[in-house]
């Protein structure tokens, strides 16, 4: 059995027991006095406007997908920047290829009007 | 160069690079150079160029292997291996992609969804297939698989206004993601056993374990679920009829032929590689799966009235025959799978191309009624369809006979007589439902008179598939020699 996994097991046990203990402790200690207002969804103190499971426009998904693309781009660029000297020109070429592919996708999305909020 | 890159590395992936490059070029040229929708057919030139370069690169790889007297060339520290096996399967992808691209233009135009991205997607999917056939690293194989699968999810749902197409895409996406999860779980166990993602290292680690090791068995079981899903073997075949029916027929052809060939290559890489030493364990499992697949495919096909659905079930049963070659597991069997995949490519593409031509303005053209009386309307198409169906059923002198012959021969050589008998019996069932289409074409009266939606590309592609389906059956020697180069050992 690889010993390197023992910390993960301990972490898992703590992660599972923490919410269980917290909820049980609260249940034992707190006085039970429910009211209508207390059971409402909490939204910054303002009265909730509507149910959160309503339908909303598909454009949000496009923005989210574009966001993920650029997010992943930076995640890849950071390790390259840290190891820039070791990787040398090989790293530059690899990142150039990676960015070129992303830029093609970006131009495509731009031309298709994915960035416009109609 | 540097420690991360040797001079032969680029040589091992150049076909995939070509495909991705031209795929990107298509995305840009689509609106920068050809803004008019009517000009989109010129994007075919890019597909042709991409396939030309890919073919040339494959040819150079073969030449390099013969010139240096080696059987394989590895790149990127063993992640990619170019060998006869990979090159053989890649030729199949090149032919399938080219034929599908050539016939798509008219079909998509009629469906009102002719977009430039379609041709790009074909090439992107193919670059994923390249890595499925040549990858020898778990991560490379998985990324290749996802690249191919994700592209296909989009292509299946390409008819945006068609409910069936949308439904098919969602079904395929959800089930595909689920099966990929199983596959990755199996991969993680393999990595856990070997401490490496290289197939060769994993194979060594499995060889050193006892035969019925529980971890090996779990890895085998979960990996098999993912692989069998991709080749649409029962009981993981549920997605195939719906996806095949809902997708645009051209995409169905590509899905049924290229995607299945790539998945078979992937399956062989895994079973002939890491799991080869555990053959005693998976042989009975795969026998059961193969028989079940042939049963489900052949029996469910009998009642279908939609030609695409019928062909989908028929393609499920063909997956069963291919698995039988792996169950036999000797050289004849593995070689038989290669022959079968090659033969299956041409005959199945051909059959779907005829269905493509049935799609006309205001006529969906997928039911058995739509093909009724085809002989009196367009005898050329009817005769070609007859050849493809005879071949699919496996009747000599067509190519399909040859494929089945080698599979059954290998089963008899290795003493799997029961499996050979069951396989032969199901051929009889297959003849029944293929001849439902033939009867519809030749005996029944035509219901509508609209001419076939034909184009020069479609006629050319049909001609090539028809000639090759007959040629492989009548004079198989050069094709068999080609398939011999694909032996994986």
The residue of chain A with its CA nearest to that of B5 is A90
pLDDT of residue A5: 82
pTM across the whole model? 0.90
Smallest CA–CA separation between A73 and chain B, in Å?
A: 18
Residues found in chain A: 118
Per residue in A19-60, pLDDT tens? 999 999 999 998 888 888 777 777 777 777 777 777 878 888
Q: How many alpha carbons lie under 13 Å from residue B386 in its C-beta half-sphere?
A: 15
pLDDT of residue B232: 93
Q: B76's torsion region: left (phi>0), alpha (psi -120 to 50) or beta?
A: left
Q: Which of A83-92, B180-189, B445-454 is the least confident region? A: B445-454
Within a domain: residue A32? yes
Within a domain: residue A35? yes
Helix, strand, or coil (residue A88): helix
Per residue in B300-341, pLDDT tens? 999 999 999 999 999 999 999 999 999 998 889 999 999 999
What percent of chain B has pLDDT above 70?
Answer: 98
- Chain B hits for A107, CB-CB cut-off 8 Å, are 28
Q: Taking a C-beta distance cutoff of 8 angstroms, is the pair B125, B254 a contact?
A: yes
Within a domain: residue A117? no
Position with higher pLDDT, B124 vs A71: B124
Smallest CA–CA separation between A8 and chain B, in Å?
A: 16
Within a domain: residue A118? no
Q: Which residues of B touch A (CB under 8 A)?
A: 1-2, 4-5, 20, 24, 27-28, 31-32
What string of H, E and C letters represents the secondary structure of B407-466?
HHHHHHHCCCHHHHHHHHHHHHHHHHHHHHHHHHHHCCCCCCCCCCCCCHHHHHHHHHHH
Give the closest of B5, B31, B32 to A90, CB-based: B5
Structural domains of chain A, count: 1
Instruction: Identify the CA nearest to B326 among candidates B394, B227, B257, B411.
Output: B411
Identity of the highest mean pLDDT range in A111-115, B122-126, B207-211, B436-440: B122-126
> From the candidates B4, B9, B19, B124, which should be mutated to test the interface with A, based on the most A CB atoms within 10 A?
B4
Structure tokens at B88: 């053989």
Smallest CA–CA separation between B28 and chain A, in Å?
A: 7
Give the closest of B5, B20, B28 to A107, CB-based: B28
pLDDT of residue B9: 83
Give the closest of A88, A104, A111 to B2, CB-based: A88
Asked if A104 lies within 8 A of B2 by C-beta distance, the reply is no
Within a domain: residue A39? yes
Per residue in B216-230, pLDDT tens? 999 999 999 999 999
Per residue in B420-431, pLDDT tens? 999 999 999 999
Residue B95 and residue B103: Cα distance in Å, rounded? Answer: 13
Q: How many alpha carbons lie under 13 Å from residue B53 in its C-beta half-sphere?
A: 19
Q: Taking a C-beta distance cutoff of 8 angstroms, is the pair B293, B419 a contact?
A: no
pLDDT of residue B170: 94
What percent of chain B has pLDDT above 90?
Answer: 74
Residue A92: which domain range? 3-111
* Torsion of the alpha carbons at B230, B232, B233 and B239, rounded to the nearest 10: 120
The residue of chain A with its CA nearest to that of B2 is A90
CATH number of the domain that residue A90 is part of: 1.20.58.1610
β-partners of residue B363 are B360
- Chain A hits for B24, CB-CB cut-off 8 Å, are 101, 104
- Chain A hits for B20, CB-CB cut-off 8 Å, are 101
| Whether residue B1 has pLDDT greater than 70 | no
Structure tokens at B453: 């939606």
Per residue in B124-160, pLDDT tens? 999 999 999 999 999 999 999 999 999 999 999 999 9
């Amino acid at each position: 059995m690889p010993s390197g996994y023992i910390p993960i097991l301990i972490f898992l046990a703590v992660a599972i027991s923490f919410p269980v203990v917290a909820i049980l402790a609260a249940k034992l200690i707190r006085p039970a006095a429910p009211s209508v207002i207390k059971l409402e969804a909490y939204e910054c103190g303002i009265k909730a406007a509507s149910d959160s499971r309503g339908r909303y426009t598909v454009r949000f998904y496009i923005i989210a997908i574009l966001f993920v693309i650029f997010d992943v781009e930076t995640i890849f660029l950071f390790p390259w920047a840290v190891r820039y000297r070791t990787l040398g020109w090989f790293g530059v070429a690899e990142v150039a290829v990676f960015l070129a592919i992303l830029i093609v996708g970006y131009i495509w999305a731009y031309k298709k009007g994915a960035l416009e909020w109609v | 160069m540097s420690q991360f890159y040797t001079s032969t590395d680029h040589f091992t992936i150049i076909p995939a690079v070509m495909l991705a490059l031209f795929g990107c070029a298509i995305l840009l040229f689509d609106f920068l150079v050809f803004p008019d929708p009517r000009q989109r057919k010129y994007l075919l030139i890019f597909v042709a160029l991409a396939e030309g370069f890919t073919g040339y690169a494959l040819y150079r790889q073969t030449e390099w292997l013969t010139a240096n007297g080696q059987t394989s060339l590895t790149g990127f520290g063993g992640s990619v291996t170019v060998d006869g096996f990979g090159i053989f399967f890649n030729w199949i992808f090149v032919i399938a992609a080219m034929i599908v691209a050539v016939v798509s233009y008219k079909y998509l135009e009629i469906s009102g969804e002719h977009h430039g991205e379609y041709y790009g997607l074909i090439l992107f999917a193919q670059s994923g297939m390249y890595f499925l056939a040549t990858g020898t690293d778990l991560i490379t194989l998985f990324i290749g698989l996802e690249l191919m699968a994700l592209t296909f999810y989009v292509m299946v749902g390409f008819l945006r206004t068609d409910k069936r197409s949308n439904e098919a895409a969602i079904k395929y996406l959800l089930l595909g993601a689920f099966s990929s999860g199983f596959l990755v779980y199996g991969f993680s166990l393999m990595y856990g056993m070997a401490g490496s993602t290289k197939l060769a290292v994993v194979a060594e680690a499995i060889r050193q374990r006892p035969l019925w090791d529980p971890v090996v068995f779990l890895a085998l079981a979960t990996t098999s679920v993912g692989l069998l899903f991709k080749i649409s073997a029962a009981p993981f075949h549920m997605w195939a009829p719906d996806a095949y029916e809902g997708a645009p027929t051209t995409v169905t052809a590509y899905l049924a032929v290229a995607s299945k060939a790539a998945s078979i290559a992937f399956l062989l890489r895994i079973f002939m590689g890491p799991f080869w030493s555990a053959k005693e364990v998976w042989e009975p499992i795969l026998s059961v799966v193969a028989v079940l697949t042939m049963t489900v495919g052949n029996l469910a096909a009998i009642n279908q009235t939609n030609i695409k659905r019928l062909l989908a079930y028929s393609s499920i049963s063909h997956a069963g025959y291919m698995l039988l070659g792996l169950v036999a597991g000797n050289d004849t069997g593995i070689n038989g799978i290669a022959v079968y995949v090659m033969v299956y490519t041409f005959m199945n593409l051909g059959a779907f191309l005829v269905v493509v031509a049935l799609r006309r303005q205001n006529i969906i053209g997928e039911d058995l009624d739509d093909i009724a009386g085809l002989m009196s309307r367009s005898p050329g198409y009817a005769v070609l369809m007859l050849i493809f169906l005879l071949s699919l059923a496996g009747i000599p002198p067509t190519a399909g006979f040859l494929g089945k012959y080698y599979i059954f021969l290998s089963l008899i050589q290795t003493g799997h007589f029961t499996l050979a008998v069951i396989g032969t019996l199901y051929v009889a069932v297959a003849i029944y439902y293929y001849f439902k289409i033939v009867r519809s074409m030749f005996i029944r009266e035509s219901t509508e008179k609209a001419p076939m939606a034909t184009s020069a590309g479609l006629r050319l592609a049909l001609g090539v598939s028809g000639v090759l389906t007959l040629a492989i059956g009548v004079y198989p020697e050069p094709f068999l020699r080609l398939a011999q180069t694909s032996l994986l050992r």
